[in-house]
Amino acid sequence: MNGKTKDIQNVCIFVGMNINISKIKEYILPAEWYPQDAIQLTWPHEGTDWAPYLTEITETYLQLADAITRYDPLLVVATPEPDRIMILLENRLSSEQMKKVILFTTDSNDTWARDHGAVSGINPLTGKVYLLDFHFNGWGEKFPWKKDNCITRNLFLGAQMRFGDEKVSRTEIWHNGHIPTAAAIELSTNIIDENDFVLEGGSIESDGEGTIFTTSHCLTAPHRNQPLTQRQIEIQLKKRLGADRIIWLDYGILPGDDTDGHIDTTVRICPDHKILYVELTDKKDALYNDFRKLKDQLQDFAARNTSLQSESHYELIALPFPDAIYDGKERLPATYANFLILNDAVIVPTYYQATKDKEAMDIIQSVFPTRKIIGIDARTIIRQHGSIHCLTMQYPIGTFRKKR
């Protein structure tokens, strides 16, 4: 099924995608600004690495939940205290916002939903959603991962059992604070088992036109998909993601990045073929040469290539580089590129750096002119070497449907 094509003689323009081809793949990866059904958060608990500052990160999660539910429904993966989390949410969110909250309980090692969550594919003709369940192994077996690798199966297959035929599964589903006898929504998608291939959502960016951007230092890192070569990995990406072109970036790794250089910390694909990237201008910074090479590589790509469907030129737009933030002697991976796109808003990580925070938010506003720009302090998040986009995963419209 992955990567198959069907001959379509007519020209199709599908909402949120630029499609103008005679052969349509069964699914492609939509751009992240494609309309959404929900955002996933996997909640922190004492058994995660957040334990030393659980109070601080819980406050950050509540701020995220507040911002998200003003624009999107919210899926909360919670363990081991769902009652306590529901009380926290009820105390923070309005009754209207709580109507958008669905809480699932299933075991977790950690909280990085971008990487253990399902990657979504969409049929460009019908809008049918496919959830691709790739293998997550703790970024090359650096950290415990086996529970996180089961979250997508437990969440969606459990949801399918409970929502579809109302059988009892080991994954409990809460809606509006109660386990429903007949849930208000049901799964409206196919789940595709991709657990024979390691891939994290933060390692790929899509323009919605068949081009996937990624980084060589991540996908070829040890303990992921060896002994596959980069060329063999590219073939697998095209097949499994319904892609026509893979763009490999070879530079730009933030310090303290446990992921081996996820692209969502440095380069983001945006509407109207704009590419946001972080630019380091301080030549005295030890990272300067690496990020200068990243800029050069992006400029070379933009000069030589257009988008595949609309044949539009890409426009590069630089984001500022936050001033260095340290935890003791460790420099943390602060970045403005790790923003989250909602249906009518964008949540931008901020770092208590007034001038640069504002500059980054203004630039992102110019790229998303119709969306509300919301800044949330990410200084606690980066202590665990990620930021806002890393904590979240979006599910496109068509993933769920209301039960009749």
What mean pLDDT comes out for the span 89-114? 95
23 pLDDT higher than 80: no
Q: Read off the pLDDT of residues 270-324 as tens digits, 9 standing for 90 and up.
A: 999 999 999 999 999 999 999 999 999 999 999 999 999 999 999 999 999 999 9
pLDDT at site 401 = 67
Name the least confident of 14-18, 39-43, 206-210.
Answer: 14-18
Is the model more confident about 251 or about 175? 251
CB 334 within 8 A of CB 377: no
Enumerate the β-bridge partners of residue 213. 205, 247
Is the pLDDT at 155 greater than 90? The verdict is no
pLDDT at 267: 98
pLDDT at 402 over 70: no
Cα 88-92-94 angle, rounded to 5 deg: 125
- Whether 320 and 348 have beta carbons less than 8 Å apart is answered as no
Identify the weakest region by mean pLDDT among 23-32, 257-266, 327-336. 23-32
pLDDT score recorded for residue 124: 87
At 400 the pLDDT is 80
What average pLDDT does this structure show over 9-14? 29
- Other CB atoms within 10 Å distance of the CB of residue 11: 9
pLDDT digits (tens, 9 = 90+) for 352-379: 999 999 999 999 999 999 999 999 999 9
Rounded CA-CA distance 224/221 in Å is: 6
Any idea which residue has 């019908």 for tokens? 126
Answer yes or no: is pLDDT of 19 > 60.
no
Average pLDDT over residues 242-259: 96
> How far is it, in rounded angstroms, from Cα 298 to Cα 315?
10
Confidence of residue 2 (pLDDT cuts 50, 70, 90): very low
- Between residues 16 and 76, the one the model is more confident about: 76
Helix residue spans in 255-394 (DSSP H): 288-304, 354-367, 388-391
- For CA atoms 249, 255, 258, 264, the dihedral sign is negative
Range list of H helices, 221-314: 230-241, 288-304
Structure tokens at 389: 């986009």
How far apart, in whole angstroms, are the C-alpha atoms of residue 198 and residue 346?
28
pLDDT at 21 over 80: no
User: Which pLDDT value is given to residue 190?
Assistant: 82
At 292 the three-state DSSP class reads: helix
Which residues make beta-bridge pairs with 316?
275
74-83, 98-107, 118-127, 289-298 — which one is most confidently predicted on average? 289-298
Q: Which residue has the higher pLDDT, 173 or 337?
A: 337
Q: CA–CA distance from 13 to each of 19, 127, 150, 262, 266 (Å)?
A: 5, 11, 36, 31, 31
Q: Please report the pLDDT score of residue 79 as a whole number.
A: 87
Amino acid, res. 289: N
pLDDT, tens only, 180-235: 333 445 565 688 999 999 999 999 999 999 999 999 999 999 999 999 999 999 99
Task: Write down the mean pLDDT value for the chain.
Answer: 88
List the Cα angle 304/297/20 in 5-degree steps: 40
Instruction: Say if residues 122 and 129 touch (Cβ distance below 8 Å).
Output: yes
Decide: 41 and 75 in contact? Cβ < 8 Å: yes
Distance between CA atoms of residues 333 and 277, nearest Å: 15
Whether the Cβ atoms of residue 208 and residue 18 lie closer than 8 Å to each other:
yes
Which range has the worst mean pLDDT, 71-85, 157-171, 183-197, 369-383? Answer: 157-171
pLDDT of residue 172: 44
- The predicted structure's pLDDT at residue 98: 95
For residues 130-147, give the mean pLDDT.
95
Phi, psi of 395 (to 5 degrees): -120, 125
CA diameter of the chain: 62
Which range has the worst mean pLDDT, 97-101, 124-128, 245-249, 274-278?
Answer: 124-128
Alpha-carbon gap, residue 91 to 88, rounded angstroms: 5
Q: Greater confidence, 154 or 213?
A: 213
> Residue 12: which pLDDT band, with cuts at 50, 70 and 90?
very low
Checking if the pLDDT of 72 tops 60, the result is yes
